[in-house]
Amino acid sequence: MKKRQKNIKKDKIVDQFEFDEFQKWKIEKERERIKNHVPTIYGYARVSTRDQHLKPQVKQLKDSGAQKIYQEKWTGTTTSRPEFEKLISVLLSGDTLMVTKLDRFARNTQEALETVENLKNRGVKVHILNMGFFDDSPNGKLMFTMFSAFAQFERDLIVSRTQEGKAYAKKYDPHYKDGRPKKFTEEQVELAWELRKQGNTYKMINRKTGISIKTLQRRFNELKLKDSE
C-alpha cells in the first residue's frame, strides 16, 4: 500500500515537472516568435450563410495585399469562429488585420469596436477595405472616434426601443409583467408543493418536475408565507 502511494506521488511529481517544462518551452517559443517577427498583413474571410462563397472575399483580400488569409465557412451557429480566434492569437504588434467589410469579424458595432480597440492596444492595425484604416494616424483616430460615437448611438437606440416597447405593453397589455418571465406555471409549482408535503426531498422533486432546487426553495417559502396569512 505504501509503495503504491509512493509511486502515485512520484507520478504526480513527474507530471508536474513535465507540465512546467512544457510551459517553459511554450514561453521560449513565444519569445522567439516575437523576436523574429516580420510584420504581416493577415486577411480574414467569412461567410454567414450556406449559399455564400468565400472566393470573392479571398480574391479581394489578396488583391489588396493580404499575405496570409484565414477562412471561415458557415457552421450553423453565429458564435463559433475558431479560425478567427486562431488569427487573433497569432497577431503581433506591427501586423495588420484586413477584412472586406465590418460585419466579417463582428456581429454588431459594439463588438467590432471592442475588437478594434483591443487590437489597437496591441499595436495591430485594422484595415476594413470599404471603410479604411483604424490605426494611430490622424485619419485612423478620426475613424475610431466616429466609430465609437456610432456604437454609443446604437446602444442608446436599443435602450430607447426597449423602453418604448415596455411602456406600450404596460399601457395596452393587461397581462404584461415587467422582469424575467416565469419558466414554470402555477400548476407545476403547486404539484411540486404537494410532493414536498408528501415528504419528497428537494432533489426528488427536482428530478420529477425539472424545477431547480433554488426555485423550489424560493417558491415554497412564498407559499408558506401565503398559507400563514
Condensed to tens digits (0 to 9), the pLDDT of residues 42-57 reads 999 988 766 578 899 9
**CATH topology classification for 41-154:** Rossmann fold (3.40.50)
Rounded Cα distance, 120 and 134, in Å = 8
Contact indicator for 206, 220 with CB cutoff of 8 Å: no
Residue 133: pLDDT above 60?
A: yes
Q: Where are the domains of the chain?
A: 41-154, 186-228
Distance between CA atoms of residues 102 and 26, nearest Å: 33
The grid coordinates listed for 212 are: 431547480
Question: Which residue, among 47, 101, 99, has the nearest Cα to 74 in the 3D structure?
Answer: 47
- Three cell numbers, residue 36: 523574429
Task: Quote the cell numbers at residue 166.
Answer: 415596455
Task: Specify the pLDDT at position 98.
Answer: 96
**Count of alpha carbons within 13 Å of 68, Cβ hemisphere only?**
15
Q: Reduced to 3 states, what is the DSSP secondary structure of residue 208? A: helix
Q: Strand 41-46 and strand 132-134: pairing?
A: unpaired
Q: Between the CA of residue 11 and those of 3, 4, 17, 20, 47, what are the distances in Å?
A: 12, 11, 10, 14, 48
Q: What is the mean pLDDT of residues 159-181?
A: 68
| Residue 185, pLDDT above cutoff 80 | no
Is it the case that residue 22 has pLDDT exceeding 70? no
Q: Cα 24 to the chain's mean position, in Å?
A: 29
What are the tens digits of pLDDT across the range 53-104?
889 999 999 999 999 999 988 655 556 788 988 999 899 989 999 999 877 7
Q: Where are the beta strands (DSSP E) in 95-219?
A: 96-99, 125-128, 132-134
Catalytic, 48? Answer yes
Q: What is the mean pLDDT of the chain?
A: 78
